[in-house]
Structure 1
């Protein structure tokens, strides 16, 4: 087994290091494993497995949620959020920096994408916060860290990918991500308060007080977005709609919102549709390659033997999670989040199940760790987005995001110590 692991690991790094697409790298790795270490006809198996992976009903939710995010990305939703949130942030320590945290959390609940959340919110908040004199590093850090919530707060594209790859319930994973997402928002907001108390001279003075009635009037801008969140997530949690049906509801509501904002035209409609097609095809292709690799690894018996080897080491669940966290963080420095999930699923799940770890909980844990990799160089997608928007050095942005990396690590520790943060809502949902 050691020789096979060495060969496949070297092959993977060679394929990825030479710039081969992730989907082709996964297919090539599966082909190598089957052809060199088993006697199974590789062509027939590849054809049947890719076909079986391509018509999963659960996958239909994926392009719909991506399309919804593309439509909202081209609307004025972020501008409305800033207008609605900013009056309420003036008296909180940290003031308008909280609009990055809460705004990203709200936009994440309707976009499902970390990069889209970062780009959309950044276009609005970076110029405004800099104009008001807020600390540059903290503006970038809050945006980079908070935008990762797009991976966790439902509807999350990466949670759909994990559900399909592991045969778990999309609806249960969605509701499992709600409390951890709120926990991370609370951690980020608390950090901003502590920072502002420590460095009061770096926080600009508050704007003049406005009447309560005016605050409520400006908050009307938040109503469409809240309606969209309730329409999508509420319909799933209440049992009125499946994730796929909720995704269709989200697309219709987002089109209505864009039309009401005056942002819907034939060009924006086509741009959103083509963007959704490109992203969906990329993810579906990766999932097909991952499905073949998973089947190939099953026939080589490497995952089960690796799980048995780790079982003989008698690691406690906490030690196993500590090792896996380090492994995922390192892997996330070189791969995007979806690739990390599909690449490691076939190897990790047997040992996770052998350790008695709940797979719904593990999915949320994995997404938070992948979130951490979104703000670590050299392949931190949020860092790339912010670099393109600001022209800043990527290491400067990574340094600004470092406190939020450790806050997410604290989040991993908290859900490990108190797993009910993740499991309460799925269990409540299952008992209904």
Structure 2
């Protein structure tokens, strides 16, 4: 009896154990199956669909349309769509292909040629010129959205690296002599340009920064301070201050006078109304302080002399406004709200657009015209101008020192000279008399 009862208990235990084991095994198997299905679905979701874009065909079409011996589109159409003449664009493409690895055409693992340098540069310049989304060039140039964005980022870095030192430089002595020559012709001896600020909307500004970059209920913006000359060349560009700052706050942060304060600027000498001055100046609007380096208009002119001065100052000061307008017209990306969230990338785009703008100005300088104060289109002919010739009262000392002042007092003295309000008033009064003496008896001003 005892043996029979023991066998019955053993059989019951084995049966229960088998049931528990089967249940546990089924649960483990089910979990493994579910997990495998989930992993498979994740792989399917992450897998990118390959699109055969026929990039070789896109390169051939681009070449035939714009770069062959008998292109489909004319030079004027090329100029309008690429924002520059064909020789200048070709020069940029060749420099990038030779000196930037990203723009070299490569062979992939299947032996197929990759995207050509022309395709990559054209994609970048189209995004800059039209300010459109990155996938808008896909259908014509056969580039994916991520590739187009990569082309843009590498293009602006290449432009800054290869051309930044030459086309975003401070004026050399020869440049200053030419600017002073033109300034004297226009009635402002000692004037080397006009200065102002513009705001670039930042659509994708990080949320934590919006309070710093937004003024009131307006959208976030980033400020560009620039100095432009008669031919729209931008000599100074300071980009990055938050949009909540006005022109005076930006000026406090700006390096525009660093060379003068550090004793590294060429010595300028000019004469106005029989009085000699040694500090060049910019034309500004009314918000800028009354310093020796700034000349504003007269808000409520009463006398004929003041009226004429205000008219001519406000006309010449528009050089920087025109430069901003041309910059935004050429490169719509700096007119439309910035889509990048990274401020460093936004700054590189602005810097590259200014460099390209100056390259275009230099390339087309022989055909540039400017509007004079009487709304007559006038071309200032400087082709025969050579340094050392008679340029009126303006003169540049080519033996200036480039050594940093050894004493902090020298720097403080220069800063005090720049901010000299008495010199500002004297210079402005002399300019009023100079302009009246030169232009006051014209028929339109009587």
Q: Normalized against structure 1, the TM-score is what?
A: 0.23
Which has more strand, going by share of residues?
A: 2
Which is helix-richer, 1 or 2? 1
TM-score (norm 2): 0.23
Taking CA–CA contacts closer than 8 Å with sequence separation of 6 or more, which of the two structures ends up with the larger relative contact order?
Answer: 1
